[in-house]
Amino acid sequence: MNDHFTEALQKMMLSQQPRSHRHRLTRKEHLQIHEKGVAGVRKILAAGRFQLSQTFANRAPHSSKASLANLQRITLSQLTQDTVHYGCVLVCRTVVAPVKYTAVQVVVEDPIVNGPRTPKEDVVVDRLSLYNFVDFTGVREDTSEWLPVGTRLLIKEPYYKVASDGVPMIRCDNPGDVVLVPNEEVDRPLLAGLRWADTLPIVYGPIGNRSGESAEGLKRNGNEQFGRKEYVAAIASYTRALEVEPGSAIVLSNRAQAYLKLEQFQQALDDVEAALKIDDGSVKTRLRYAKALYGSRKYEEASVVLQKLVQLDAKITEINELHLKAQGRIAEQHHGQYKMFDIFQEARTTHPPYLDHADHVGPVRITAIPGKGRGIVTTRDVLEGTLILCSKAYAVVFEDELDANLIKISIDHSDKSMTNTPHIVARIAKRIQKEPWTAKELYELHAGPDIPPMEFVDGEVPQIDIERIKNIVRANNFQPDDAFYPQAPSNDKSSATKSRDDFQSGTGLWILPSLLNHSCVPNAIYIIVGDLLFVRAMQNIPKDNEVCVPYLPCTNTYNERVKKLKARSFRCSCQLCVFERAHPSHARETRQRLLKEHERLRDRIRTGDPAMIPPLTNIIAQLRDTYPPLPTTSLLLSPTTLPPHQLRLGLIHPLISLYHLRASSGDFESAVAILRDVFEMQPRCGDLTVNRVDIAMAIARMCDALGEEMEKRRWMRVSENECEIIYGEGEGKRVWREVFSKDVEMMGSD
Ligand SMILES: C[S@@+](CC[C@H](N)C(=O)[O-])C[C@H]1O[C@@H](n2cnc3c(N)ncnc32)[C@H](O)[C@@H]1O
């Protein structure tokens, strides 16, 4: 693996040397290079060794904003190296089966513009690299299913450059800039007067009504293709059958079934609705209708259809099961009733964990927030523990969807941080292609400080814009981790305080949660389970107050937080930041230094070495001194303000370390006193609520060791209650009983 890595790096370095003018490669040379690439991919696949996840880009990828109608035709022979050909559209045709490496790579040829017949060998060819074109993350030898040999392509504003292996190529990053022209489409003005060197056996897309094809024959073809699970081909056959004989309810219903298999629910719904307008429909068609409605997340309508079907024939298990599921989704969508415990189990057993649950929008609305753009505020007084929203990802790439041996090379100069961007960006582009009507809500998301909002033209579907998608992902992504379960407190960075930045692999985009602004002491928590993102209030939030989540752990030091948020182009003015900003800068720096010192001692602290107690106690004493003294009289605080003792978050990790040292030396009295302090210091905010579950349980364990039965029971109840605030009433109890099953077994519970 390392050899390949070094080789790739060397190639990249070489490619950055100044190069002399290169001669244009012949068709034969290009095809040989392509064949070598295919052989290389074959070797990689045979060895099962690695794939590259990142692309090498010497300039920021661009997306064409121009409309095809305004572009001038250009040919391969007219391309200039290291140039984006603004105002032009390249017309070409694929001459070989493509291969997928980091990009889909193929050889394309020029058309022949009128004139005398040109021998095939003299027609100019070049390499075309299509990035983000497929959302498949690995390498593949033959990708003809995406791009059959002979496909005519229009490439908007092509970028011509030399690739990392020294071979020139047309690099296209934006799938929206590639137009595939079906074979039978002959009247495109851009193709007028063009011929090709020879005839290639291309069959691309649905082919129009060929004389002699009967609707019945085409339907039969479609059924056979469906039986072989060739759903795209089946759809093409049914489409042809409908062209020959429009208005066949059976063919429409069959095509709907093929769309259902491809999870193209809207298309399935359109077909089945058209079929039901023609006749009443069989049970089969009406079940398809219910499935299309369910898939389109129209659960109530699906339930009405299913209810009638149940009355007709209650024996069909599939109908009953779907009816039950629809009712579950309605309870989720309207009442926020999610069986969290079951959803956790589902996420553990589903690979990849795409979960079938409804979205829910709780008592919140979107509004402008001064200085922050848009945000989410409550529409009524909200109690702690209330579900604010549940949202299914617009697109997500899970860690285990990526190759285990994936090499992450981030040499894309425009973006060093996001090694997994190509996958999620390609997935978003695919979703827009499949469901263009969802593009608007995506493009409306914040794309960074310097990027103006997209302008939409009424009635026009926005194009795929890879640059904007990349920026949107950068500004709004959340990293999914499989389950956000509470754990016993440890002096390692606990899962609760694990930085979102630590989850390097998986990444996802959720539309409504993308409107949540950040606070370092947030009043809400987000929990990602599979592709679902739940947001719950962790404090009582009065009506019209903003709901905020943490973009980073609040136990990060002030300087760390400022730096990370600066990278996201804003300065936080939450209560914690205002509090710490008011401290003299030397106090903040001392705190930072002391916390680093604590980090350095951690390995020895982990061993439980009692010699660590004096230096740690000293660090804690000095840390306390970096904060202003606590007021001696109680303050009158607003319901949204944290008390001053809960703003000294820098003390939490060192105090947990001290607890460990005391507990491992058998001094349970001191250990429990420290933990009680820590519990008091942890506001119920963001991820710290998870710590409160763990710490209350650790106190219960200490009380158990000290024989304090009543206290033990009290703290177990506290832990359980905190868990219910995070996961919801009842459900939190189930989660708590599972997580702490060993404790419950040993210590008993009420
Ligand atoms: C995920 S978006 C949140 C929604 C965003 N406000 C909008 O209008 O779409 C992240 C962006 O919101 C803004 N933002 C989030 N939290 C903020 C805060 N506490 N203060 C100022 N701006 C904030 C920043 O511009 C940040 O890059």
Is the bond preceding residue 352 a cis peptide, omega within 30 degrees? yes
Check the CA dihedral 77-82-84-85 and report its sign: negative
Best probe residue, ligand 1, of 518, 546, 565 (max atoms within 8 Å of C-beta): 518
The two structure tokens encoding residue 667:
């001094």
What is the 3 state secondary structure string of 527-550? EEECCEEEEEECCCECCCCECEEC
- Residue 19: how many other CB atoms lie within 10 Å: 12
Task: For ligand 1, say whether the CB of 136 is within 6 Å of any of its atoms.
Answer: no
- Residue 261: how many other CB atoms lie within 10 Å: 15
ipTM above 0.90, yes or no: yes
The two structure tokens encoding residue 570:
């804003």
Residue 430: CB partners within 8 Å, gap ≥ 6?
134, 135
Nearest partner of 620 among 580, 677, 563, judged by Cα: 677
Please state the rounded mean pLDDT for residues 635-643. Answer: 84
Cα of 318 from ligand 1 centre, angstroms: 45
Task: For ligand 1, say whether the CB of 471 is within 6 Å of any of its atoms.
Answer: no
Q: Which helix (H) or strand (E) holds 332?
A: helix 317-335
Distance CA 332, CA 413 (A): 44
* Greater pLDDT, 505 or 102: 102
The residue extents of the domains of the chain are 2-204, 208-335, 346-549, 583-629+640-747
CATH class name, domain 208-335: mainly alpha
Residue 721: CB partners within 8 Å, gap ≥ 6?
none
DSSP per residue over 624-689, as a string?
Answer: HHTSPPPPSSPP---TT---GGGG-GGGHHHHHHHHHHHHHTT-HHHHHHHHHHHHHHS-S-TTHH
- Ligand 1 atom having least distance to the Cα of 514: 1
- Residue 611: how many other CB atoms lie within 10 Å: 9
Task: Report the Cα–Cα distance between both ends of the chain, in Å, rounded.
Answer: 55
- Ligand 1 atom having least distance to the Cα of 516: 3
Fold of the 2-204 domain = OB fold (Dihydrolipoamide Acetyltransferase, E2P) (2.40.50)
Best probe residue, ligand 1, of 451, 512, 517 (max atoms within 8 Å of C-beta): 517
pLDDT beyond 60 at 56: no
Same fold, 2-204 and 346-549: no
How does pLDDT run across 360-401, given as a tens digit for each residue? 999 999 999 999 999 999 999 999 999 999 999 999 988 777
Task: For ligand 1, say whether the CB of 477 is within 6 Å of any of its atoms.
Answer: no
Burial class (CB in 10 A: 0-12, 13-18, 19+), 591: buried
Best probe residue, ligand 1, of 369, 476, 570 (max atoms within 8 Å of C-beta): 570
Confidence tier at 683 by pLDDT (50, 70, 90): very high
- Residue 47's pLDDT is 72
CATH class name, domain 346-549: mainly beta
- Residue 12's pLDDT is 42
Please state the rounded mean pLDDT for residues 676-705. Answer: 93
Cα of 399 from ligand 1 centre, angstroms: 26
Check the CA dihedral 5-9-12-14 and report its sign: negative
Please state the rounded mean pLDDT for residues 224-241. Answer: 89
- Residue 114's pLDDT is 64
Cα of 547 from ligand 1 centre, angstroms: 12
pLDDT beyond 70 at 437: yes
Q: Which residues pair with 181 in a beta bridge?
A: 152
Residue type, 594: L
Cα of 500 from ligand 1 centre, angstroms: 17
Cα of 164 from ligand 1 centre, angstroms: 37
Task: For ligand 1, say whether the CB of 568 is within 6 Å of any of its atoms.
Answer: yes
Q: What CATH number belongs to 583-629+640-747?
A: 1.25.40
How does pLDDT run across 163-185, given as a tens digit for each residue? 877 888 999 988 889 988 876 66
* Greater pLDDT, 373 or 499: 373
Indicate the pTM of the whole model. Answer: 0.82
* Greater pLDDT, 447 or 638: 447
pLDDT beyond 80 at 94: yes
Cα of 397 from ligand 1 centre, angstroms: 23
| Three-state secondary-structure class, residue 192 | coil
Task: For ligand 1, say whether the CB of 572 is within 6 Å of any of its atoms.
Answer: yes
Cα of 518 from ligand 1 centre, angstroms: 7
Task: For ligand 1, say whether the CB of 504 is within 6 Å of any of its atoms.
Answer: no
Task: For ligand 1, say whether the CB of 374 is within 6 Å of any of its atoms.
Answer: yes
Task: For ligand 1, say whether the CB of 569 is within 6 Å of any of its atoms.
Answer: yes
Q: Round the CA-based radius of gyration of the chain to a whole number and report it.
A: 30
- The residue whose C-alpha atom lies closest to atom 15 belonging to ligand 1 is 517
